[in-house]
A and B are shown apart, each in its own frame.
Chain A
């Protein structure tokens, strides 16, 4: 029990912990998705970097120079002396290097031109200016050549601000960056300057009061050895006011001034800013791509640009900004402009870098990094295209394969041949190819026509088509197979329906036999009854009804059998050429008495020549007979019946027109349906199948049978193909 309780408690605790975790997770998510926080980080990072940078600069300045109050003060430092001497040394080294090179080449010329006129050649060499950065100028007060620094070559940042005169004691050549008419006087002037540094007879000396002989020696003995000045005399000074124009010095000065009085501040700021930068960067790396209320990494439109392109653009911007910044520091533009230019460059550079890093991280997080490379896309496209082509070419099911290979193969070969020295042969191959293609197209068309014919046959209702699949290939072969299958299906269906129709007919025929036998007895005994001498008028009337109805039943059965036989096509036709005109005359002869009885007058409109058609004469007579029979039964007594026979171009047209004695409240279609008669109830004569049989028989023999009802006008149209 205790254990259980403990367990339950434990479980509860777990639940609580989980809830806390969940809550923490939610809080983390909120932090992660916060736009404000991200924005803040993006703003703070450059500021912190700036703070870090100036702190580092300040520390480096203070460690290098100790204190730094201004150019005048700086000049008095040993650090300045070191920098100053380094500048002079580099100038001397330049001169020395050029001089040595000149000497070496002179010696070479000496040895090679030993036998020739050496005097002239040495003169020439002497005249030649060997110093890259200097050009010779005239000075009457000085006996030797004077070289003026025509190309300012900034060896150090102090170079532009130092005035100097260097005399080569070996040759007497003077090197200077001062413009003057009297250089001896200039030497004296320099020597009198407060900031003068000079070197004479192996001794370095300066007028700067804070640097005494000892400390000057100390400076030169360490790194910037005075040995470099061996063989030269040097006079130089620097104008402290000019130093104000040095940008780097200005930056150093500003930074130093910023922290003046709080010298310890940078040593706190460096770790602080560094840690906060790292923290913010880590946060941004973690948070970037997440948005509030959205699952997964959200990519913006920038992330959809190909990675190379965005990288190149951003690298270009950053590069530009760096070079602008460096150039602006190096240049001598006014320092207030310098600050704003530098800050602008810094911010643009930072923004670009931030964008680039952020997009890189988002791409990595979304696993889209490689995919966002343009190179990747291009490679992929090439790969897919090649695969597609390859698949097309190798796919045996694809019927275009052969065509593709042969056609393009020929085209490429022809073009290659036509473009080379084999152009003649290429042209011949091209022509052969064209002829071959034409021939193949014709062949193909022929095959298609065959298929088309088969389709037309099926469409027209002759599904007894069989295409030879072996003759065809590719898609056509498949088409042929389908068509054969469809045709087979149709044939089967038609056969099935014919078979069922035949069975129906057989059934009706057999049933009719069974009905006929008792009907025979009925008819016979009714007939016998009629002959009996019956004295009862009532009975006689009954017998008359029986007689009439039994006769009607007989007719009905006969028509039923015939109708079913005819509609199922279960009729053997014996087609021969028949004169329709003769047939009409014969039929009129047959019906003469019946027509007379109903007082119907026949108006015949027959052509003079014979009208020949192809039909089975007995069945054709059945058609005409049924029409006449219909007329004698249903035409208005005493009216005229119009019969028109016309021979048209391809057709024979036969028309019967009569006036119905009863109102025809029925459509022609309904009338043609079996067991439907013009008047639905009253007529007891006939079976109502006559016209239906006539229609079926006409169609069976290739004609067309149509009924038209227009008010009381009853019209039968029969069309036949002319023979």
Chain B
């Protein structure tokens, strides 16, 4: 049973989140401003915080700064501010994720799950490091075992087609580097591309849809428009 602190000055939003997350088996602790959130944080053992930015008394960014002074628990920012600037400042202050309002409940749930799993894993890894055998390709919570041909994200297994697997493997082997469709084709198929390259693009979209929580805002397989694709190197 994980405790999630939901902080928002809009009570209806907090209630709605409670409904969604309770259905997933989480225990919800509610707070309606920054001060209250910090109090609740002291009183309870919290595994994840969903934090609004625009709040009375103490806003989300300030509250986050307070939290980050001594805690590493995952924080998902939830805000109506959708500007790049807001996202960057939130993430830079120490947020683990950023979800904009109005949010897709499924996406929020997925992100909550992912963050909790990673947080718990991280702690567990520290306690009992699992011996990683064979060709294990990883970035963040994305893992690919080339021997078992198994791909997992946040420990959840992903079913990929052979082509998709090969493409992801090539990119994962060269994580952090950008490859154009042509290069991917040539490297994966070992033959010269013949012009129908948008098949690769379709495959990559499919991969994204499978491994990403929000394929439009991918975390692992990023699209560099007009240049190519890359797998983000996440430690």
Contact = CB atoms under 8 A, between A and B. Distances in A.
Interface of A: 509, 512-514, 516-525, 527-528, 550, 554, 558, 561, 576, 578-580, 582-583, 585-590, 592-593, 604, 606, 615, 617-618, 620-621
B227 A617 contact: yes
Interface string B169-186: 000000000001110000
Contacts of B102: 516, 519-520, 522-524, 550, 554
A588 B225 contact: no
B61 to A, nearest CB: 15
Nearest to B81: A513
A519 B226 CA distance: 35
A580 B226 contact: yes
A140 to B, nearest CB: 151
B16 A528 contact: yes
Interface residues of B, number: 35
Interface in B87-139: 101-103, 105
Given A585-B197, A592-B205, A615 B226 contact: yes
Given A524-B16, A589-B205, A615-B226, A517 B181 contact: no
Contacts of A606: 195
B83 interface: yes
B103 A520 contact: yes
Contacts of A514: 80
Contacts of B101: 516-517, 519-520
A518 B103 CA distance: 12
The 7 tightest CB contacts between A and B, nearest first, are A589-B201, A578-B226, A583-B226, A621-B225, A516-B80, A524-B16, A520-B102
A73 B143 CA distance: 171
Contacts of B203: 589
Contacts of B195: 606
A588 B105 contact: no
Contacts, number: 104
30 contacts: A509-B83, A513-B80, A516-B80, A517-B10, A520-B13, A520-B102, A522-B102, A524-B13, A524-B17, A525-B12, A527-B105, A528-B19, A528-B20, A558-B82, A579-B180, A580-B226, A582-B181, A582-B182, A582-B227, A583-B225, A588-B201, A589-B200, A590-B201, A590-B205, A592-B201, A592-B205, A593-B205, A618-B225, A620-B225, A621-B226
Among A522, A527, A590, residue most surrounded by chain B Cβ atoms (within 10 Å): A590
Given A527-B105, A558-B82, A590-B205, A585 B198 contact: yes
Contacts of B234: none
Given A519-B101, A587-B201, 7 more contacts: A513-B80, A517-B101, A579-B180, A589-B198, A589-B203, A617-B226, A621-B226
Interface in B187-220: 195, 197-205
A703 to B, nearest CB: 13
Contacts of B54: 513
B158 interface: no
Given A520-B13, A527-B105, A592-B202, A617 B225 contact: yes
A586 B201 contact: yes
Among B19, B81, B82, residue most surrounded by chain A Cβ atoms (within 10 Å): B82
A652 B16 CA distance: 50
A463 to B, nearest CB: 29
Contacts of A561: 82
Nearest to B10: A517
Nearest to B108: A524
A196 B231 CA distance: 164
B162 to A, nearest CB: 18
